[in-house]
């Protein structure tokens, strides 16, 4: 159901919306009450809530909003002005391009924080498995039969919230409209006005007040203009549609490059085909890197629910390799791509013995013991040794990861511990323990200690 200004609606049923107030507030009713008591408590509760809302609206009418610099801060309630400010600030991150005199597109594909990849989080996390859809919004200016101007955006946020959307503010920023004129009260739905919450339906001596009648007319006008977009003035429209001298389309917006426009047009074209397809962030990354879904084990399934978790996690691993944010994984992918078949991968001896580990341990201990007995050794010398050991182990762990990405793992897929080729064959199982402590022999061990 598409409802106007439904952002605050928790349900589409008027009866269901009163459940919390009737059953859990101070005026709650239950099945043990008789009809007269229940009706009286319900009516008293409604009256109290209306009175509290009226008092709150009257207080806000005389308050000054110091948290905003918008020219409409004195006319809108705090929540409405806060939504407008959030959309206005978010428009800085969007990109745009003007494809014609009255055709503009806006988009934002930066849906993932680059720091996430720099921290090296596991791409098998469920947050990465969720698809992040990319959408390109189209905007144009319309003039109705009353000569009123509207900016129509396909996102539809103006209709559901009653506040100009992010795409509209991006269009206004690119037009270099002065900040004192960029935001106007007429762009908002009448319900966001301070006067609407405090004076709507107000009566004196049985007659509606003048301001109440004006608000009712404005509300009726909002209903008639439902779905037309954000209303603007003639001067505002002229500023939006103004063309520079020797204009050549497309005109790129601020912080927008040709590569950005190419990506946006590819996404827009996929949605306008005979069989339109939704585009995810993964689809765009694979497209820009020239890699197909078959290359990363994500063949197109007729039913997306048929995709196995193994294929999904493998594709996410490969997708991280393709991301520009992680250069090390990208270099590993380039090295792997040199081999076309699994049989071409180099085979190395996979031998793990207890004797080699024990000899290395004794050799390392003897070296440390000899250095520790040297009287010339300082504390800083030991700290330097510790740092060097950490660097050696870190470098060797990288060698292990790169090796097990090829041996037994296919094209760069890391094997899990416990699987063949995943490093589960530990020689430490040959370690001999002197006494196995169990409830049965714990008493014997205590007796031996006492005798000693």
For the cut 80, the answer to whether the pLDDT of residue 316 exceeds it is: no
**CA dihedral defined by 82, 88, 91, 92, rounded to 10 degrees?**
-110
Which pLDDT does position 129 carry in this prediction? 61
For the cut 70, the answer to whether the pLDDT of residue 248 exceeds it is: yes
Which pLDDT does position 349 carry in this prediction? 53
The pLDDT mean for the chain works out to 75
Find the mean pLDDT for residues 154-166: 91
For the cut 80, the answer to whether the pLDDT of residue 63 exceeds it is: yes
Summarised one tens digit per residue, pLDDT across range 336-374 is 455 434 444 444 455 677 778 888 888 888 888 888 888
Summarised one tens digit per residue, pLDDT across range 105-136 is 999 988 655 555 555 555 555 555 677 889 99
Find the mean pLDDT for residues 243-260: 89
Find the mean pLDDT for residues 245-256: 89
For the cut 60, the answer to whether the pLDDT of residue 442 exceeds it is: no
């Amino acid at each position: 159901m598409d409802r106007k200004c439904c952002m605050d609606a928790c349900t589409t049923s008027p009866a269901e919306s009163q459940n919390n107030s009737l059953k859990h507030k101070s005026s709650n009713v239950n099945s043990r009450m008789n009809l007269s008591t229940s009706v009286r408590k319900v009516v008293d509760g409604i009256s109290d809530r209306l009175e509290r809302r009226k008092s709150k609206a009257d207080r806000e009418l005389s308050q000054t909003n110091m948290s905003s610099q918008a020219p409409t801060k004195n006319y809108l309630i705090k929540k409405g002005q806060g939504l407008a400010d959030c959309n206005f600030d978010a428009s800085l991150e969007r990109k745009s391009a003007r494809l014609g005199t009255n055709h503009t597109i806006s988009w934002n594909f930066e849906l993932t924080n680059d720091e996430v990849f720099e921290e090296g989080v596991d791409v098998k996390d469920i947050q990465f498995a969720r698809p992040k859809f990319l959408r390109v919004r189209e905007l144009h200016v319309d003039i109705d039969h009353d000569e009123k101007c509207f900016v129509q955006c396909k996102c539809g946020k103006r209709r559901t919230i009653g506040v100009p959307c992010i795409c509209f503010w991006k269009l206004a920023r690119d037009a270099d409209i002065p900040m004192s004129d960029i935001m106007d009260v007429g762009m908002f739905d009448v319900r966001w006005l301070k006067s609407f919450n405090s004076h709507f339906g107000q009566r004196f001596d049985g007659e509606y007040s003048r301001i109440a009648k004006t608000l009712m007319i404005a509300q009726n006008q909002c209903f008639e203009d439902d779905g037309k977009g954000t209303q603007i003035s003639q001067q505002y429209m002229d500023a939006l549609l103004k063309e520079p001298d020797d204009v050549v389309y497309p005109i790129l917006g601020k912080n927008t490059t040709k590569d950005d426009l190419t990506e946006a047009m590819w996404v827009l074209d996929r949605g306008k085909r005979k069989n339109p397809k939704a585009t995810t962030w993964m689809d765009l990354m694979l497209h820009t890197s020239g890699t197909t879904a078959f290359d990363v084990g994500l063949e197109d399934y007729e039913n997306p629910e048929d995709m196995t978790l193994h294929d999904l996690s493998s594709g996410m691993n490969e997708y991280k390799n393709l991301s520009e944010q992680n250069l090390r994984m990208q270099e590993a992918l380039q090295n792997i791509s040199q081999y076309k078949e699994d049989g071409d991968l180099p085979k190395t001896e996979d031998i793990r013995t207890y004797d080699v580990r024990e000899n290395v341990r004794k050799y390392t201990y003897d070296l440390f013991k000899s250095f520790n007995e040297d009287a010339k050794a300082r504390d800083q010398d030991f700290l330097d040794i510790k740092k060097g050991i950490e660097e050696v182990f870190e470098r060797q762990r990288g060698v292990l990861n790169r090796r097990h990405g090829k041996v037994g793992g296919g094209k760069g897929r890391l094997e899990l511990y416990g699987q063949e080729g995943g490093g589960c064959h530990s020689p430490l199982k040959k370690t001999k323990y002197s006494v196995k402590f169990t409830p049965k022999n714990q008493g014997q061990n205590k007796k031996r200690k006492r005798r000693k």
